[in-house]
Structure 1
């Protein structure tokens, strides 16, 4: 097989040695003595052969011989010869293919062991085999290449088509955008024309309104000056009256100081007196409670003595009963004198006892059952009896507690009534004391308020400039709602924090830049001074270093110390920054100089260490108090008037007299005692309710337990009767059986013998145990009750001792109270004289206050007129400023948005818009003055213009606009404003303008047109032309690639299908021929199935074989012989498509039995022809005995090589 395969060009991987040079036969190599030859020069010469060859002599159908030879050398190189002519392998292979010897498909041989693998090979391997046989395999590479090109061409065609379609859509989009841009431009023009008309209408009515307001403002200002002059004269009279009242008030204060001093001395004595009286009352109450407890303990002791006596009597009675019981039992000495039995008598006794047990077995069993029940019921009865005894004892105890509680309740009620009577008497005295204390407190508060007013001297010290500034701030708050006030009024700082704020103390806090600008413009026009404005929403805030919050003990961030509303957080952070407040100067120095922290520190006394290292000294308390007291002056004056009014009312209602003054009672003490008694009564009532509930529950439980007790007692009696009855039956049986035995031993009954022999009965033992248990219980209870009696006696002695001590202490306290009474009367006499003088001064002060009130009311009336006129004047001014601001906003809107208004004089270029830097430059109210701090922030004209111009919101408040200058030399042409629009300045028409403009604006905003669509449309048309050319070229390429691919596909399919159809038709016939037998004349069935019907060469070919009379199974489940037959059928069918001139089979019958071997041999014999030669290698004589000729292989020992022998069997056919 190696030689045939080698010469026909089979690849070396299918041979026994994959290295071709190893196939060169070297017979000399086996002989050790002739491996090499050594010459005289010592050179070794190898005698092994250098090359080998195999020659196949093939006779064609025309009878011509062709010699195919393949040789190899030691380098493993092959040489091919045809008729001794050296040729290339391709020519060598083509020559074989002309004779249908296909080397790749190996259609001329089957290797040893490959039969079964042919049948069970993978479907795709079978497909490949058929492709090689059919020749469609030659188109495989071309098919794959053209298929890839076709797919790429189709993809490119689709890409160019999509590109063309995208450009077409882009053109359509640009055309739509062109139309939208034209529509957009028309809407913009319409909106601009409508906006100009609206602004002209608005500006016309603004200027008309400004002229009217200017005239009204002049008239209001003249009336305001007249009223203010009249008010100034009335204020002088008011000040004189207040000065006179102040002199009277000083005298009144002196009297009050004397009264306060005497009252303080009385108050110093009063707590001691009250304390002693409270102690006396407490001792009285304690003594009453002790006496009540002594009486209760005495009653309890008598009851306890009765209980002890009863228990002693019960114990004595029990001992007497026990003695009587023991006397009734026979003595032990008498029992031991009974008869003595012999051994035979003992055996007879035991036999008779067993007989009794047998005859009375039911009665004994029943007796044991009754005895167990009796014992259980007896135990239950004892438990129930003990429970009832406990309930009865609890009932008696609860009744006793209830009686004691009711007695204690009656005593407490009587004591509470007595205290209420004393409290009613003391209320009048308490009222006087309370009034006096209230008067003292009010005088102290009044003195404090007057001291603050005198120290501050606000009305005298407040300068004209400060007054004017405060009035300006108040005016700004009225005109502009977004003005919050001065920073010092919005927080509550102390001395160091005031130092921290520094120049920002009087800064005015506003909402935003626009409000600040409007306020600055107002103050500049009114010439009311300079101010710093801090807008909440526009400040550049310095960052706060959180590390300083817990940096050094004794140092805190000033920002954390201030108390303020949350909305002012940014303003306070701006003013304070990361400044630290230190407890003392040493801590501040440590932070700045030792720790080298670049931070501003302030101490509690006002010392400052700046970031530069410069130190400044602290301020005095008066300097800072003045600054902060100014905001509280009005509140102090209101508190002063309120306190004076309350003191006058107390003076009118206060009762005088020594009786009341000396009766400074302890009403609070009485109230406390009364409340304590009430609480005790409530507690006692709850206890009584609980005792009543307990008593009711105990009686209920006692009633509920009585019936079961009687039932159990009755049941126990029945059990005793049953036990006696059954015992009598057992006794009768014993008497009958032991009758002659008892006569023999001379005893009345056998039970008498057993009693004398074995001691007392179980009943006697049980009765003794009961006596012992009852005796132990009585002795224990008696000992407990005696201990209780001893405890009561000890408690009684202790309470009597306590009562004696309390009586002694009470007598001592009463003596101390009597000694304080004399001194108190002297002080009260002095107090009365000072109070009379005080009433006199109060009366004079009241008269003066009446005069002041009259002047004040007149001044207040005039002041209201002035305020009303001033309010009207400010309202007119404010309205005028709003109108001016609105006019400015309109012009700025036009300037910023490029709106050209029709002008009769000047041009839009004459309108100037000033630029300001946000958060950097201060704006002042006076052009001639400047502010030193650069932290004030003013509004930006850009932001103002934006806020007005965005959505035509021209009717916003003035506080949201910025006013700069309106002295522009321009005059608007209002000729286009119609008569109807001149007459109508209503909000309705304004709303219509706004809505129409907003409608245009919404449409314009929603459109978002592409204004470059027209210019881009031409370029897109050019791109579309290029894309169409690319698409046509790609489509043509795809068409040609598809046609080329289809041509190769058809060729490949035709070749493959021709082979597949032939093999499919042939295989069933071949398989039937190989499986026929006399038993199964039809044979088996075999067929091929293509997994892909359209292109079967792309997928696998499945081979199925059904042996005769077998179910369908996969090829792997067939036996070895069945697989071999199926494989042979497949090989013969494949070979029949392109039959080679010979077919070499190597031991294909190895797995076949003799029957199948004979069938295969017959098939080969039938199909062997002169043009089709079978060469079969076999070891089974059943096969090779049917051959035409035989070739035998044997080993020549001499040559150590193979030799052949041949035998022609044709001559032996007959």
Structure 2
């Protein structure tokens, strides 16, 4: 099979359809300038042969194979090769009958798609690969394609690589590849066998041993169960017979007790008849006695009753007066507190005023003095301007006038001084006489003062005792008032809660403690009381979402639930949820996101997002509400529930339910508030009740604590008021004594004397000043002119100085005067408050004094009434004793009546006790009967075997087997069964059989794998021997052809392949070359051209071993001179007569030997091809 024609269309540089026809069946050459497209012809052949490594055709992707990568308007590249298939010995498999075969490959610009056609029929790429592989034209492992680079590569090969070329030539290389794959498979199989051995050894065998033990334990467990069943039947039969006997005994005892009750009733009737007879006799005797003594007794009783009424009324009046005194004292205390607070504030404000006055006084004086000095300075300056001067008053006058005025002032002061000295002497004499008289009354005054001091100390001590109590009367009254106001509110709230619970029994959970000391915190309560709806508008929806679960009761564990159901004496059927067992889940986030995207964020919510609850109960809320949604309307609920992305049960705001299954419920709403609204109201009432009750209890506790303090306070305060009044009276009496009046006169005289002395001092200072002024004026009269200029300058300086001082003092005085006015206004208000409080205190004191007088009078009256009452009581008791002594016989009758009445009561008590015993017996009898029926119901065999219970020589012969021993044996076997049931494996028998089957199957498979492995190893050993024989035969032929070809290319030279020193043929091959019979040690001794000829000779020798139908050589002569190129052409013609050669070369020495020459040119950006036939051909 060889190429006859190549058609290129859009492939690389061949833009238009180009046909290269009439290829020679033996030797074809292609030449042309660089870039003219000669190598593209070889690339097109490789392209059709199905090359996958595009780098061999100098492209990165299939699109680059299209002319200008498809940018010139050409959308595809097509290459077709026509093969001559007339030689059937070289025909591909399946195509022996076809004389000509056309293979086409097309690649498209769009997405780089390509397709293959064989004789115009589209075929898959692997079929084309198999087509060329069957004739040794595998383009992806191309020994038929010899490139220049391959020649160079051969020169650098190591011995194992040269050996691999020989193996490829013989076809054993593929065997080596498959052998390596097989060895890897065997290694995997070995690992698998090891794994199987491990599973058998470590897993299956221990499990089989364990299951064998468990199977034996299960057989033993079944034996125990059978024995236990048989013994339990005997034990149950014995218990049944005992229970029947007990029931008969209880019935007999009940009948006997009923008979005893009848006997007791007959006895009671007899005693009642005796009592009636005794009562008639006693009544007749009493009637006789009443006629004689009854009138006096009635009079005494009436008198005592009248006295007791008077006593009660007097006590009531006394209490009323005491309460009035306490009220007035409270007002008095308040006013005293107001007075003290106001006086304290007045004291503080007066202190502030005094402080300001001290400052203001100095400031005012400073201001007045400055103003006066300013005025004098102005007048002095004016007087100086008129040629005059001023006196001390600032009046303009001449020096002479001033001198005269100073002399007059000095004489006046001298007269006043003399008069004041005389007055002082007179006052001192009078003061001495008064003080002497005061001494005579000193003793009496001290005595009165000591009395006042003693009373003041008593008052102070009482006040200190009151202060030490820290008792707040106002606080007591406030607490008592608050208690009175809280009581009706508590009653109303408790009534509301109780009424709600009574009307809504299903919303509350009532139970009794299952056992003493039960912790009620374990019972959490109904679901409806564990959460709160965030917005009341969702109440109906939340209620519908919970459904019946709303009334389920939550407890902490399943043990608590069992205790309540068994011993809690529940009043209604109830479902109990144990927190440690309940499970649930919320709607997942993806579902709620889908729902919100569908209907909007505000239109749909997870149910649990609409309620508030304690996180401890989250699992409970998941169980109740987890898988539901709530929508804002029914339409939205339907839309969400039936959407495939949501597909969740959804409720509308009015409580209608939309189920994804297609069911829609709702439409009717009960009138009135919802259950959750009622619960919210109850929750608010309970919370308010708890708060008020807590406050009420606190008030009661506080009042109890204050009771003792209040009594003490009242006693001390009462005494304080009396002592204070005495103290005030003593002080008033002392103020009117002669000693007090003399003391006032002494103080007055001292004040007047001090005043005279101050005036004397002032007058003396004034006279001294006037005398100094006289001397000064007399000196001025002597030097008038110079003195005037000096005075004028001093007056101007003084004027400026005092103007500044006046301005500053005026500003300061203004601020201080405003503050004084504010303080004085506050003092006036407080003073008015004190006056009002004092008036109230005076009025209260008068009222208290009057009330105390009334209280004392009432106490005296009560004392007299008590004496009268005691006297009346003693008279009545004496009369009754007298009547009792006269009625001994009547007493004996009544004693008899009492004795028989006691007998009747005793009999009635016995009847009650007996009736109770009957009730207990009947209850016990009912329990026993119930137990019999339950035993018969639980054990149907009883009714069938009852006749044999206790019969000799039967399975129920109780005389043959001791029931107590049977009971012990049952307990022992039950305990043994319970222990074994926890460890026994009921499926051990089945599991053991399955495991044994699995063990046998694994063992069988392991044996088969071992057998297959051995077969493969035998085949590999046989193939290794055949491979060695094949390689040795190929080595001999290739070595001979290698030498002949090299000799034909290079005359006088020879070449061969030999194993490396110390190694065999199968370890590798080396190339040896000789020239003139001398073998070279290394190829490095050869020239570049010689080395290329060696490599080319080896390649051609390998090709000659198993010739392919077609060979392609691309510029393999690039490194050779013309002579050697000529020899290659001759060698190909002589040695490869049965194969077609297509050679690309630029040297005439090579393509001159070709039968057909194709010359390429590059014209107008496109490649063209011309064909030439050799003359020799």
Give the TM-score, by structure 2 length.
0.36
* TM score, norm. by length of structure 1: 0.36
